[in-house]
């Protein structure tokens, strides 16, 4: 049996939300986590909903206020009935997930004096014109079993013995069809509503601040790293060229990462022979830029101190020469 890894799974699900965003689109993502523990009494259910990478509402069954709560100021505009409906839906999904958590624990005969986790992520994507693009649903138990709704929104991929059993149950009740209808209907409606309420934040564009750094490697080669900082939204393209041709050999490209202030950062690096740095250019493309940026590493300019020394040497040589000429002329 595989080694369970709930923390790694949670990070994986979060990474899905950050990387599934494609050019000219927006995502609604709903993350559910149900935790069973011997000291919790009732399992703890937590839901956090995101538009792109912005959490806009959350529910925690162990919180002092047992209702869905806004996480951003612009969601406070929603009426009481909206929060009542969202709270009711969270409670219903909590009961649904508890049923399958108990089922998974019983199937694998997992002990009740240990912690167990069930996680669900679902979401939909729309283009800038509001048209539905994609939907997804993923159900995971403690790193053992996974059930994923396929891209056709009508069939399942299941991994794990218990997951195969659950898939059969869901096929009998036509759950894939139910989820497909939700992802293409209510999910899109909620996402469109959020984009309208939070348009000043969610639909803004912040241009990247870009530069190229230079680092000498052991052996004499050089790493050129192209940085893009402080941009929003997350979609961006970083490419390297050598003498005007695309260069992908030994290129390292990291995933786009949140900067912690509502913007993002990313870098792409190439290893080049020392002395050939100026043959390489980095190209940055982002929707907030009027045109793509073209950057290359610029050798550092002489410091003021070095310039002063050079000027002093030149002046010293001039004075010595002038004195020598004067003495020779006198002689």
pLDDT in tens, 174-217: 999 999 999 999 999 999 999 999 999 999 999 999 999 999 98
Nearest to 168 by CA among 140, 152, 147, 144: 147
Question: Which residues fall within 8 angstroms of residue 63, CB to CB, at 6 or more apart?
Answer: 69
Band (142; pLDDT cuts 50, 70, 90)? confident
Secondary-structure class of domain 6-202 per CATH:
alpha beta
pLDDT of 14 over the 50 cut: no
At 327 the pLDDT is 55
Chain mean pLDDT for the chain: 86
Better-scored residue on pLDDT, 40 or 93 = 93
User: CA 199 to CA 242: how far, in whole Å?
Assistant: 40
Question: Range with the lowest mean pLDDT among 68-82, 256-270, 291-305?
Answer: 291-305
Sign of the torsion formed by the C-alpha atoms of 165, 173, 47 and 12: positive
Q: How many residues does the chain have?
A: 331
Band (8; pLDDT cuts 50, 70, 90)? very low
Nearest to 277 by CA among 201, 228, 223, 239: 223
Number of neighbouring beta carbons within 10 Å of residue 17: 18
Query: DSSP of 109-157, one letter per residue?
Result: T--TTS-EEEEEEEEEEEETTS-EEEEEEEEEETTTEEEEE-TTSS-EE
CB 132 within 8 A of CB 28: no
User: CA 179 to CA 169: how far, in whole Å?
Assistant: 14
- Give bridge partners of residue 185 from the DSSP assignment: none
Convert the pLDDT of each residue in 246-289 to its tens digit.
Answer: 988 778 999 899 888 889 999 999 999 999 999 999 999 999 99
CA-only gyration radius of the chain, Å: 29
The predicted model scores a pTM of: 0.76
Nearest to 123 by CA among 204, 197, 14, 34: 14
Mean per-residue pLDDT, 138-143:
86
pLDDT of 3 over the 60 cut: no
Nearest to 206 by CA among 286, 97, 271: 286
Q: Provide, rounded to the nearest whole percent, the portion of the chain with pLDDT above 70.
A: 83
Mean per-residue pLDDT, 218-246:
93
User: CA 130 to CA 276: how far, in whole Å?
Assistant: 47
Q: What phi and psi values does residue 213 have, to the nearest 5 degrees? A: -105, 160
Nearest to 60 by CA among 18, 91, 102, 99: 91
User: CA 3 to CA 65: how far, in whole Å?
Assistant: 36
At 87 the pLDDT is 97
User: CA 44 to CA 251: how far, in whole Å?
Assistant: 44
At 110 the pLDDT is 87
Which sequence spans correspond to the domains of the chain?
A: 6-202, 209-295, 305-331
At 7 the pLDDT is 43
Q: Is the domain covering 209-295 a CATH 2.40.240.20 domain?
A: no
At 322 the pLDDT is 53
The CA-atom distances, in angstroms, between 147 and each of 125, 136, 180, 265 are 20, 11, 15, 32
Question: Range with the lowest mean pLDDT among 19-23, 120-124, 164-168, 296-300?
Answer: 19-23
């Amino acid at each position: 049996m595989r080694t369970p890894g709930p923390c790694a799974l949670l990070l994986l699900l979060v990474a899905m939300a950050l990387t599934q965003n494609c050019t000219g689109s927006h995502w609604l993502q709903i993350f559910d986590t149900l935790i069973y523990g011997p000291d919790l009494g009732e399992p703890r259910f937590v839901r956090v909903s995101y538009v792109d990478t912005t959490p806009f509402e959350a529910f925690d069954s162990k919180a002092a206020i047992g209702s869905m709560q806004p996480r951003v100021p612009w969601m406070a505009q929603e009426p009481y009935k909206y929060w009542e409906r969202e709270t009711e839906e969270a409670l219903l999904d909590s009961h649904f997930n508890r049923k399958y958590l108990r089922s998974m624990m019983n199937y694998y005969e997992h002990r009740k004096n240990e912690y167990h986790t069930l996680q669900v992520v679902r979401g939909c994507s729309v283009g800038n014109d509001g048209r539905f693009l994609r939907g997804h649903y993923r159900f995971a138990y403690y790193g053992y079993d996974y059930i994923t709704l396929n891209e056709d929104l009508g069939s399942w991929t299941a991994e794990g013995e218990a997951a195969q059993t659950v898939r059969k149950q869901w096929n009998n009740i036509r759950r894939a069809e139910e989820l497909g209808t939700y992802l293409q209907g209510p999910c899109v409606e909620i996402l469109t509503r959020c984009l309208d309420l939070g348009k000043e934040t969610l639909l803004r564009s912040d241009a990247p601040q870009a530069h190229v750094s230079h680092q000498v490697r052991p052996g004499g080669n050089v790493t050129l790293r192209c940085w893009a900082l402080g941009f929003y939204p997350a979609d961006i393209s970083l490419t390297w060229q050598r003498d005007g041709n695309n260069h992908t050999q030994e290129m390292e490209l990291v995933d786009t990462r949140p900067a912690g202030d509502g913007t993002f950062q990313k870098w792409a690096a190439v290893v080049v022979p020392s002395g050939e740095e100026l043959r390489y250019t980095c190209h940055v493309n982002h929707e907030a830029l009027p045109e793509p940026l073209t950057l290359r590493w610029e050798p550092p300019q002489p410091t003021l101190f070095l310039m002063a020394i050079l000027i002093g040497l030149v002046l010293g040589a001039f004075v010595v020469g002038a004195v020598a000429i004067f003495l020779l002329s006198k002689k």
